[in-house]
Chains A and B, each alone.
Chain A
């Protein structure tokens, strides 16, 4: 009994010790007023922690074997990669906020709309900072796919890093006329049962957003702030559509893959005939790796598929904001973006506006090798739709699990 008392006492003690809040660092104010030269000077010789999604070998290769060594060489900055995306980033920052951690684990985070939304909600981002980056001048901030992230104005709180469009993919050697709307998809899977599924992750939810937009009757049907009534109406029809047809899905719709990378493998091995993905379907690299057949094609839904940009943000408690800015400035430099767009490498569309570049870089971009197998971003341009408000995504996640997977 005595020991139990002692332990309760010690636990309470521990709680009181850790309960004293610390204030986050105040040095961030100075950086806002510093010149870029001073920021650059301060950045030299430090380490920057970059939290990013590490699920793709080409992206990891670009970061580990191009970005990190170049940063070391040019700016003497050591780049340290931390694995993590979306919820993991939010949870980390939220936990640090709760615990009053002054020096955050991550300095730079790779995010898009729904994470941006959540980080803003908990005031987890530092900024505005993008206007201070010299290379920001090459970005077209009048482009609504860049200045608006999931219906939220970006306001220099995050720097765009890449832009891409979601696409559906199929093997043209096997299918001559792939489905382009929900009705055709229904007919297709009834004729080819077992070859379609939706991954229970970011990619899958993005497909569902396109479906939702189609059900709304127009490409702009989901624009504007989140509308509960509209969501209820459209999502009821969507779940009804999926539940009605899921017996024609992969594994009779009894289960859904957790990660999109699994869908890629299944498409490669012929388990799926229709797949989808960001980066215009990601066809180029998969064909080059020999995973997908050369006859693989990508296309957009008739009502359109989501086009979005992805961004880099700086955490509110980054202990190294100057160096984080230097790194982000490098990542949006013409040099780094050109390398990033290499079809044999990361194969990611440059976020820079080519017209704004110096003639030298302009010609380099124009002369750079193009994709051979996959669609270009411009091919899908007239079928591009905006990301709807982040709440749609969060609700789709929850309801897809509750109303489809667990049914």
Chain B
């Protein structure tokens, strides 16, 4: 009779995955939790109530983050979808795709540091628009690369078929391409949303600390050594993606696979 260790490992994995989420919530509820106490001396809703009183502008940061990420994800998914078509059907497809990879693999913070002069010049420094444009510059290549596999011979044949049957460009997009790309569009939206939602270095440089997204706030609280507010902002940062993951997983991955 062989010992079955699998359930134990599985339980451990699940615990390891859930631990950060639980710990962050606990830490956000705690206060005055000092070494060597294993449990905090205060435990309750105080921090959350204070934040809702918007003393530290966390709610404001949350809203800024949401609007920036939604804009970035929408624009980069749509533009990536359309433009990757031009790139993928181009005879020099390979060279063009390679060019796309350069901004994609560069550390965003270094990219931003080298670009900040141009942002300053164009008045895009220190405002949300600038942050959106800058984040778009790194999510766009992602979207481009993401969609390049969609524009294959099969898609091209379908497009040609629609054209042969007398459909125009608009009809091709709205009646044929969008429906078959729906799953991919959603995934791309989700991924670009996450890239933007998680971005720190680039935002800190282009936003100059004025555009205080949630990641910027987390850093601020860590620097202040205010770990409880830090954990609270972490909660605000990780739970929206969890919800998105739930929706995405449910409606996209199942259909796609």
Contacts and interface: CB of A to CB of B under 8 A. Distances in A.
Answer whether A and B touch in the complex at a CB cut-off of 8 Å.
Answer: yes
Contact of A92 (B208, B220, B223): B208
A354 interface: no
Nearest to B212: A83
Interface stretch (A156-164, A259-267, A345-353): A259-267
Given A18-B121, A99-B117, A269-B35, A82 B209 contact: yes
Given A83-B220, A99-B121, A3 B96 contact: yes
Contacts of A259: 223
B20 to A, nearest CB: 22
B125 A105 contact: yes
A228 to B, nearest CB: 31
Contacts of B32: 290
A80 B210 contact: yes
Contacts of B116: 95
Interface residues of A, number: 35
B93 to A, nearest CB: 11
Interface range on chain B: under 10, 10 to 19, 20 to 34, or 35 or more? Answer: 20 to 34
Interface stretch (A56-64, A146-154, A363-371, A392-400): A56-64
Nearest to B95: A3
Interface string B70-109: 0000000000000000000000100110000000000000
A144 to B, nearest CB: 33
B250 interface: no
A269 B34 contact: yes
A50 to B, nearest CB: 11
5 contacts: A55-B224, A83-B209, A98-B117, A261-B224, A262-B225
Contact of B123 (A49, A60, A101): A101
Contacts of A51: 209
B55 A64 contact: yes
Contact of A95 (B34, B117, B210, B216): B117
B141 interface: no
A54 B223 contact: yes
B14 interface: no
A259 B57 CA distance: 25
B1 interface: no
Contacts of A265: 225
Nearest to B32: A290
Contacts of B117: 18, 95, 98-99
A269 B225 CA distance: 13
B226 interface: yes
B171 interface: no
A56 B224 contact: yes
A114 B101 CA distance: 41
Contact of B118 (A3, A14, A60, A105): A14
A88 B223 CA distance: 16
A51 B226 CA distance: 21
A268 interface: yes
B120 interface: yes
A128 interface: no
Interface string A16-27: 001000000000
B56 interface: yes
Contacts of A56: 224
Contacts of B55: 64-65
Interface string B196-210: 000000000000111
A96 interface: yes
B122 interface: yes
A82 B220 contact: no
